[in-house]
Each structure stands twice: as C-alpha cells, then as structure tokens.
Chain A
Amino acid sequence: MSLSDVITFLRNSEYRPRSASLANYEDLLFSLSPPTVGFFNWVKAILNSEDHYFTVADQNCRWTDHTFLIDKYWQMDSKCRAEALGVVSSFVHETTHHVDHLITPYGAAFHIGSLKESLAFKTFATHLLEAPDCLSNRPLILEPPIQCSHHMQVAWRELRRFTEYMDAGQHTWITRIEEGWGKEKRLFSLMNRTLEAVTVNDFLYTVRPPGTTMYLGPVAILEARAMMHSLCWILFTLGYDHSAEEIPTHPKNPLNDELLLFMHTFYRREELRPEYRLVIDLLSGIWGQECFEDLIQNMSIQYLFSAFMLIDGLCWYALQSPPSACDVHEINKSPVARLLLAMIYFEDNVALAVSKGDKFRCESTAAMLTEMEQSSYMRERHLLPVADCLKVTLDEGKRCIFLGYDDLKVSLREHFDHLLRIQQTQMTIRLTHGYNSLLGLPQTGNPALGAHPYVSSESEARDLLQGLHAGPELTDWFTARENLLYKYSPRLEKKSLLLQHLSPV
C-alpha cells in the first residue's frame, strides 16, 4: 500500500480493444496509501456513492468545486497526491481508448478488420484441422510448411492479409519495419526534429526517430489522446477554468507542478513503452521545447490547456480514417498520414505565429480542424471532409452487418453485431456535428462528462463509458488468438484451441 503499488497496479490496468472491455478497478483500493483512501472516502461521500470500490462514476467529481475536498487534496503529501492523480486519470485514460474505438472511423476500421480476420481465421482453421500434420508448435503467423495443401496456403495468405493490417497497429515481434518509403530512404525535419521515413508491413508509410525501433503508429496516436485527456482533467479538477484569465490555484502549489508530479510518477521515459511519448514529445517541438515536460514547465496554464487540446485535436483528426475497404483515396485511410499532414499544416501555420512571439490559443479545437480541412493544402492532398469519412465508414459497417457473420460462434457473432451497431448509432449522431464531439473532444478532458447527448438509455451509457461486458468465451477467444498467431506452444494445445473456438458451427 504505497505509491509504488499504485504505479504497478495502474501499469497493469488496461483497455482491451478487441473485446472493448475496461480494466477492473476493484483491487485498486488495496494499493493506495491510507491518506489517499481517506481522500477518496470523502469523494465517495460527496457523490453519495455506495459502491465499495472505484467505478467510472467516481471520476465525475471536480475536486475544486468542493472547498473542503480540494483542501484535503492539498493537505496530502506529494506521494499521496500522485496516487490520487493516478486514480482519476487512469479512468479518463482508459475511457478515452474505449470511446476512440466506438465513435471514430478508425475504431470502425479496427473492429471491421478484427471481424474479417476472425472469418479468415475460421477458414484457415478448417483446413488446418483437416490436415493436422501441418500443425506444429510454431506460431500460425509464420507461413505453413510448403508440403501443406494449396487451399491451406491460400487460406493462410488471406488470413495474413488481415493480420498484417492489425499487426501494424499492434507492433508485435513479427512486424516488419523497413527504412524508407517505397525503398527510397528519406530524412526530414518536422516540429524541429529529424525523422526517418519507414514502411511498416509493406503498407504503412510512417516515420520514426532515427536509429530507434519504434514508429509512429495508431498506438502512439491513441496514447497521446488518452494522456492529453488525463492532463486536461487533472487541470480541470484542480481548478482550471476555460473562461478565467487568471487561474485560481494553491499559492504554494502551481498547477504546472502537479502536472509534472503526475508525469514524473507515471510517464518516465526510461520506464515506458516508447510509443507512449512519441507524439507528445514530437509535438512539443512546435513550441520550441525539447520534450513534453519542458512544455509543461515553461508555458502558462491558460496556454498549456490549449496546447493539450491542440495535440488532442490533431490526433482526433488522425482517427477519422475510414476502413481499408472504403472506396476513397488511400491517404484518407491512414491515421498516420492524416496526423503527419496535419502536423505539417500546423507547423507552417502555428509555428510561424509562435516564432513571432504570438502565443497560440485556440478557442475551439473542432473549429480549428474544420479550418484545416477546408484549406487548399488538405484539399490538394485528396483529404476528404469528416462527414464524407463518416459516411463511407457507415456504409462499410452496414455492409458488414448485412453480410452477416454466420460462420462465427454465437458469442463472437453477437459481440461484433453489438459493436458495429453502437458504431452506427454514434457515427450517425456525429454526421451533423463534424469534428465537434463532447465525447471525442471533451471540454474538460473527461469523456464521461460529455456523454449525455449521445445516449438514450442506461445501457447505452454503460456500453459507452464502462466498456462492454466480455463473457469468458469471448475473452478466451481473443487470448487464444494471441497464442495461436504469435506464440510457440505445444501442438496439442494449439489443436485444442482451434477446436474450441473455430470448429464448424
């Protein structure tokens, strides 16, 4: 029960995108120090919460709205305050991942890809179970032996088509990262940084800091948004106000220091998967800062909140990328290409103002993105308006629902059906609002506070904010997928998993 326990607990808490399920926070209580437990007892009392563990509702209390509560917060030492910040921000972080996978074209592309991969897996498994000699302890992501039938090779290649797509987002041990774009090696400068062009799995054209093994992919974009939302919510719950020129704050504890406390506790570069900080460190360059912590230290809170929203907004723009089957120019479908082009646009337009000494402060992130979308720069590069991206994504989702997924087991079929229908509802709502979304771009950073206009029932709210309920059959299948595709394991175990999850319905 100490800060290190909280760090360990939160490092293991996670969002599982395939099953669309959130971590269980019931045990978090046992990791907290007694003063932090006491603090959250007060939060619960103020919310009249009767739950004996943390729930998503506990994040909806803005501490600064209750003088007594905010005083209690400042009375705690820095370790306990870091614990408290970790607790509230982790909820916001994981909810952001969930919302991103439910209301954006990227999320639709992800789940449609997951559905098509499952169907292709089913076909491949049928061939494999008919020819057990082709099954060994090797990961199925590796090509079947040459002596296996032509049908099996064809089925494997079809499966590989989808796994390669998913794999580029996941960055596994088999992900191929090659220098250059179309074999042409390139170095270029973006946000005052040098970046190297790389191609991932032969299709994802992206960049990386030279000499590193990471690359700018969907994980980096999703993590940057989740971190920005967490930081915005920390600022908001501790007293930031959009309309105030001066931010009321504790005389001895500037809010910048609380953000740094949070970053130094949970996001130390040397302890973190490198993708987490890629976008935020890169974008700090737009303000001439070496790294994200320098940005926090050197910028006033009013402008810092805007900077967070700008980073959030650029990543939001990136996620409006329709599924690969949609008949639109390829550049629209890559979240990475969208982000890079948006960064170049802002480097040209915002960095110029910053270099002149003007502070950039955006009034509305959605308005900023609309302005960018209407620029000749974006139109010349074939980037479609967001409404068009949503429309083609909705059409592709409808096509998948119409085609059905009868070959899959009932639990998986119901899961995809439920997910695709939530996405249809949410993206239809978004059609009339463009980039504006209180869920996607929450004004306080907290998606839960922006959910009301988008839900018409308790169950819809639960699905949108607390994750879907993933039954054991579903979680077992998605775990089996990892083991079958990517891991060495005994041949008999592989056969048993295939029979359990992919045998004829």
Chain B
Amino acid sequence: MTTTDDLPHSILEEYVAKADRLSAEIKLRNGDLEPAYQAFDNAIQAMERKGLALESLVPADKEFSLGFAAGNDQTGEGFWKQYKKAIRKRICNPRSPVYKKFASGGSIGAGSLIGLLLKHLGLPVEAIPIAAIVAGILSAAGLDAICIDQQSAPRKRAAKKKATI
C-alpha cells in the first residue's frame, strides 16, 4: 500500500476519528500536548511491532555524526521534539500544501489533514498512526506547533547581546 486510496475505508475512518478526538483534547487542555505524547508512545510501539522503523520516517538534516554525548530519548515527547524540527522545512514553506491549507483560513479538521500529511511528507501508509497524531496537533494548535522554534528563540535573543568572550 502506498497511498491512503489503498487503505480500507474503515481504517481511514478510525484514524480520522482518533485525530479529531486528539485535537479536541488538546484544545480542552489549552494546548497541553501531553495526550499527543502518550499517543506517540503507543504509535511508536505499534509501528515497531509491525517492523516499520521510526527512524526511517524522520528526515535527516545532516549527515551521520559522532556526538560528544549523543542522547537516547525514545519517548513520545522526545520523538515529537525531534520530528517537528525535522519536518519544519517541509511544512512551514509557504508553498507547501499544508501551509497553504492553513493560510486559506477557517477551522481545519484533523481528519482532513491526514492524507495531506502522508503525501506531503512522503510517508508510507503504515505510518498513518503518526500522521493522525501530527494532524491532531496541527488542527488544535495551528502551524505554530511546528513552525515556531521555541528552543532557539532564547539563543537568538542572547546572540543579539554583545559577546562577552
């Protein structure tokens, strides 16, 4: 199976419902992504059981490297931190279909984003659990959930100050 067209309708419906439920829960919690992290935890385990490597879904932004003390965070939260950074370029480009969909305004249902994300990110259809969670987050929190780099913001501010060394 390579596209959502090949997916049995009942399965697609199941994930659309899951994405909508997740979106509603995140909104109810004022943007707290804890339910999404838990969903990622479950999705990661389920995909690994099916033999689809999570690593194969995350675009690389550099060559293989040997780090000073490379981390080993395999939690749902750790995955989301890494994944949103990796797909930022693709999603936040004004020419990307996901970006255009948000730019056109109005409320966007999580379910309508699943197929778009799978196609635009080049994901295999077996990665639909991940696409559904990302759709839920985007529907609840908008593009800011991916396009604002919260980690580098303080550093950029600091960089504006004169260096003391």
A residues contacting B by CB (< 8 A) are 1, 7, 10-19, 27, 29-31, 37, 40-41, 44, 51-54, 89-90, 93-94, 97, 136-139, 170, 172-174, 219, 222-223, 226, 266-267, 270-274, 276, 475, 478-479, 481-483, 486-491, 493-494
Contact = CB atoms under 8 A, between A and B. Distances in A.
B66 interface: yes
13 contacts: A11-B67, A11-B71, A12-B67, A14-B68, A16-B64, A18-B64, A30-B155, A41-B165, A137-B2, A138-B124, A487-B59, A488-B124, A490-B119
B120 interface: yes
B122 A13 contact: no
Interface in B44-94: 53-73
B163 interface: yes
Given A29-B163, A271-B71, A491-B122, 20 more contacts: A1-B158, A13-B67, A14-B70, A29-B165, A30-B159, A94-B68, A137-B123, A137-B124, A173-B54, A174-B53, A222-B66, A226-B66, A271-B72, A475-B62, A486-B60, A487-B56, A487-B60, A488-B56, A489-B121, A490-B120
Contacts of A223: 66
Nearest to A90: B68
Q: Which of B59, B65, B69, B122 has the most CB of A within 10 A?
A: B69
Contacts of B58: 487
Interface residues of B, number: 35
Interface in B9-61: 53-61
A40 B165 contact: yes
A490 B65 contact: no
A10 B68 contact: yes
Nearest to A31: B155
B158 to A, nearest CB: 4
Interface string B140-165: 00000000000000010011000111
Given A222-B66, A274-B72, A488 B165 contact: no
B68 A13 contact: yes
B53 A11 contact: no
A486 to B, nearest CB: 6
A1 B60 CA distance: 28
Find the residue from A18, A40, A489, A493 having the highest chain B CB count within 10 A. A489
A384 to B, nearest CB: 27
Contacts of A488: 56-57, 121-124, 127
A222 B70 CA distance: 13
A273 B58 CA distance: 18
Contacts of A270: 72
Task: Select the residue from B55, B56, B73 with max chain A CB neighbours within 10 A.
Answer: B56
A482 B60 contact: yes
B163 A52 contact: yes
3 closest A-B pairs by beta carbon, nearest first, are: A173-B53, A478-B63, A482-B60
A19 B63 contact: yes
Of residues B71, B122, B123, B164, which shows the largest number of chain A Cβ atoms within 10 Å of its Cβ? Answer: B122
Name the residue in B63, B122, B123, B163 with the highest tally of chain A Cβ atoms < 10 Å from its Cβ.
B63
A18 B63 CA distance: 7
A329 to B, nearest CB: 28
Contacts of A267: 69
A89 B66 CA distance: 15
Contacts of A18: 63-64
Interface in B100-155: 119-124, 127, 155
Given A11-B70, A173-B55, A487-B58, A29 B64 contact: no
A53 B2 contact: no
A274 B56 CA distance: 20
A337 B117 CA distance: 46
Given A1-B158, A488-B127, A489-B59, A14 B65 contact: yes
B63 A137 contact: no
Nearest to A91: B68
B155 A273 contact: no
B63 A273 contact: no
Given A17-B65, A272-B71, A172 B158 contact: no
A245 B67 CA distance: 35
Contacts of A475: 62-63
B143 to A, nearest CB: 19
Interface centre among B57, B63, B66, B158 (most CB of A within 10 A): B66
Contacts of A17: 63-66
A10 B122 CA distance: 32
Contact of B165 (A31, A44, A170): A44
Nearest to B62: A479
Contacts of A11: 67-71
A10 B68 CA distance: 6
B64 A482 contact: yes
Given A173-B53, A479-B60, A482-B63, A27 B68 contact: no
Which of A10, A41, A267, A276 gathers most chain B CB within 10 Å?
A276
A273 B122 contact: no
A15 to B, nearest CB: 5
A307 B158 CA distance: 42
B70 A273 contact: yes
B66 A487 contact: no
Nearest to B65: A14
B165 A37 contact: yes
Nearest to A169: B64
Nearest to B123: A488
B105 to A, nearest CB: 26
A447 B155 CA distance: 31
Contacts of B163: 29, 52-53
Nearest to A28: B165
Nearest to A93: B68
A171 to B, nearest CB: 10
B46 to A, nearest CB: 16
Nearest to A275: B70
B122 A27 contact: no
Nearest to A222: B66
B2 A136 contact: yes
